[in-house]
Structures are given as structure tokens and as C-alpha cells.
Structure 1
């Protein structure tokens, strides 16, 4: 056990060193975070860790979920995005899904590891997380780069400014955009989000709530990152988009719910170590 713990610690230090060396959480194109709006088109390639997870239907692939590049060959997404038997690929450096922009890099998914506690029939149980190992590393450039991981157990304060990015519906039953969208989602602390007139017991301590009312994620944003900038200026993926209200995406007092990444850092490092 001691040897495994030492190996795991060594891996985490190597991962941290590698991501810092490659500038984790430092976009080459700075995101537009000056305005507070209910969603807008993202500045192209300003979220370089954002990926499009695509599923094969017939001979073609279609966007199904978002995801986050967190290491040279690893993408973080939601467990509910993965269905047994389906074939997936990951497209990095994407902005407009409808055109070829010459920045895209497509990688096959070599291995899928869904968190063992994830249960599609019991979403509120939590652990809505999966890791995808790519067949080969993408080329890190101005359009493709990893997000940082938060510190183990880190919990953001109420009102912390975070951003959701993705190609989800613009509103409930609304159109699906071709171009990557972003929205400012302030964090709602667990003591508020778990109130009976909010999400109640549905929200676990291993989840993070953000937004609510006018600002929210929507169908198609699943698996994508909740990106939050730290005091050092680097962006970390603090959440993996999990679920919204079943009634409407932007229901009042029903913020978007994410799997809290910092609650699963040991599992993430273990998967990267053993796979």
C-alpha cells in the first residue's frame, strides 16, 4: 500500500509538472469574460481544453457531449455520456461544428473508464464522471491545451465566477448552435443549493452547483467543463456538467449541477496510473 501511495503521489507530481510545463489552464486566446450576459458565442479557441465528444451513427459521427482535455492523452467527461457498445471519437481545437477550420484534431478513443459508482438509473447518487484515453496525444498549440485540475477537496466560495462552455441547446428545446457558446455561472454553495426549495437532497457534497434562473447549461452541454480561474491566473476544470432541471434548463432555484472534480482527484490519478 505504501509503495502504491508513493507511486500515485509521484504520478500526481509528474502530471502537475507536465501540465505546468505545457501551460495548463493558460489559453493562447484569452476568453471574453468582461460582460455578464445570458450566454454568448465564445471567442474562438479561448477554451482550448474544450472537446467535442462525438458518437458514430452509421458511417458518420455526431456531437453528443462536451469534455475536457486534462492530460496529454486524457479527456474528462460525464458518465451519462457513455453508452455500452457505442463508438466514440474526440475532436479538439473545434469551434464551429459545421465547417472545417484547420485547427481541429481528431483522435480515436482507445479506452473508456466510467466511475464505478455511476448509475444511469440513479443520477442523484453522483459520481457522474468518465475518463477517455485517446489513441495518441494531440499536438498542443494555440487551439488545443489542457485545463488544470483543482486541488484535492477544493471547494469554491459562494458566488465564485466560473464559465460553462459547450454546444448545448441555446434554451429549453431551442436550437443547437454550430459555434461554441459560453455563459457565466456563479457558484451556488452547497448549503444553499441543497435547501429544500432548491435541489434538496438531490445534490450531494461531491457535486457543485452554478448559475440558476436566467443562466444555465442545457441539453448537449453534458460532460463539458465548468472552468474557473484561480488566484494564479490559471483555469481549472472544477466541474463536469451533469444535469439541469427536467422541466426547463433555466428554472429558478435549480442551478446547473456538476460533478465536483476536486472530490475525485484520487480516482482520476489512479485511472491515469493504471490505464
Structure 2
């Protein structure tokens, strides 16, 4: 990965004792605040057994796109071995077991065929087939998707959600964080003063105000936007600046979901 842009998934890990008691160290969306419990019902925590020690560590976010599939970032896939991962749906307080969580193993991982470990080239998207489908408990919900090639206008207000770093030092909120974040149109984000040629049309830029951004641990999570009368997942957190995540003119960059719908539907 490019050092200038990587949102390294291994920073700010959270851990959870299998299957219920959460012993965690976790950080949040920069500039965010506590989300209401289970208000973003498609948000999941992607966790990994990194050290073969029976503990699962939060590495990324993701979105539930069907009862059997989760969408996340390709760079979140640290190993092709599906048995090392699990998905937690219905999660809110990552320190506690609230009874709303569903812990589900991963059966199969499908990374976009054009992903080549270079964030600047795009295609930073992957789908996880769950070992068992999640069930409708009232605390989980399937994400709505944008229409093909849909693009959002400049300054359109969306929400970023996740359990990512609060700053370059880190903090430890116990619950899912959310923050409004404004879209930066491609014509601006692709200028030299912003991300330049690193910003592709298959990406969405949002933020860049020096206050609000995604950060390590938010990777793979959703960009939630109210469009056509309903909340839809328009983006997947992909990259941001090295060092402090909330830098002026260096917004969080998301994989644009509307550019990959044919592939998503073909796989899932």
C-alpha cells in the first residue's frame, strides 16, 4: 500500500473474547459522536483472529448487503483464509455484550478481480459470504444501494460511521461513532491541491475540512447518504492521508459503490 494514503487496518485494533465478552481497545471517527443504539443497522464490525489465540480483533467496518453477504474494502483482507474472520452484526457497544449482536463466521472471500494492492488504482472492494445468514432480529437491516453510476453533488451531506481512530494518538469510545461529512466533487478532489490523480471517478471524496474524517479502523465501513427518500450506502472507506487523518484538502476517499454494482450483483 502507498504510505501516503493507506488507512492501515491493523492500527487501533479492538479485541473481543469469543463469543460474547468484549475486552477491547478501540477508537472512533474523527469529529464524531455516539450514534444512537442500532441506528445504522447495516453497519458491521469485521474481526479477525490474528494470532490464533481465540480472540477476534476488530480490523475494519463493513455493510450488510444481504442476509448472506457483507461488503467491505479489499485492503481489509489481510489473509485469504476465510476461517480467520468473523462478522458482528447488530453491534453498538463494543465493550459489552448487549444481546443485539450476531456473531457469524465467514465462508468465502471474493476480492474485486482488478484489485492489485494499490489504493491509488481503485477497485478497493471485497464481498464476504457468511457461513450462516443473519436473521431479522430488529437490530440488523440490509443496506440499500445507489442506482448504477449515481454520483452525488458537491457538498452533499452524508454520514460516516465506524469504530475508527479519534486522532493520530487514539481514543477509546465504547460505542459506534457517527459524523456528518460533506461530499467533495471529483472535479475539485482531483486537483493538485487536493488528491490529484489519486482521486478516480470510481471513488467518492468526502470531508477535507480539517475537522471530520475517517481514520484507521473505519476502513471498509459505509458512507451513508439519504438519497431518493432512503438511506443508501454510497461508499466504502478506502484511504486517507498518512499521519493526522483530518487534514485540510485531504478528504477521506471511498470506493464508489455505484461504479461496482454489476460486479456486486454478479457475486452475491
Please report the TM-score for the alignment, with normalisation by the length of structure 1.
Answer: 0.83
Instruction: Give the stretch that moved more between structures: 259-268 or 77-86.
Output: 77-86
Aligned residue number for residue 70 of structure 1 = 65
Instruction: Give the stretch that moved more between structures: 177-186 or 61-70.
Output: 177-186
| TM superposition shift of 1:85 | 4.5
Runs of 4+ off more than 3 Å: none
How many residues align? The count is 234
Q: Deviations over 1:113-167 (max 9, x none)?
A: 00111122x2100000000001121112321001101100000011111101000
1:175-254 alignment runs, 5 A limit: 175-212=171-208, 213-232=210-229, 234-254=230-250
Aligned residue number for residue 41 of structure 1 = 34
Question: Does the CA contact (< 8 Å) of 1:168 and 1:177 recur in 2?
Answer: no
Aligned residue number for residue 125 of structure 1 = 121
Q: Counterpart of 2:205 in 1: which secondary structure? A: strand
Q: Residue 113 of structure 1: which of 110, 113, 122 is its match?
A: 110
Aligned residue number for residue 101 of structure 1 = 98
Cα separation, 1, equivalents of 2:165 and 2:180? 16
Cα separation, 2, equivalents of 1:60 and 1:141? 25
Cα separation, 1, equivalents of 2:116 and 2:247? 25
Q: In the alignment, is residue 148 of structure 1 matched against residue 161 of structure 2?
A: no
| TM superposition shift of 1:170 | 1.0
CA RMSD in angstroms, aligned pairs only: 1.2
| TM superposition shift of 1:176 | 4.0
Q: Counterpart of 2:266 in 1: which secondary structure? A: helix
Q: Residue 161 of structure 2: which of 165, 168, 171 is its match?
A: 165
Cα separation, 2, equivalents of 1:231 and 1:159? 17
Question: Does the CA contact (< 8 Å) of 1:241 and 1:257 recur in 2?
Answer: yes
Structure 2, unpaired ranges of 5+: 1-29
Aligned residue number for residue 77 of structure 2 = 82
| TM superposition shift of 1:72 | 1.4
1:252-271 alignment runs, 5 A limit: 252-271=248-267
Please report the TM-score for the alignment, with normalisation by the length of structure 2.
Answer: 0.85
More RCO (CA 8 Å, sep 6+): 2
Residue 67 and residue 193 in structure 1: after superposition, are their counterparts in 2 closer, same or farther (change >3 A)? same
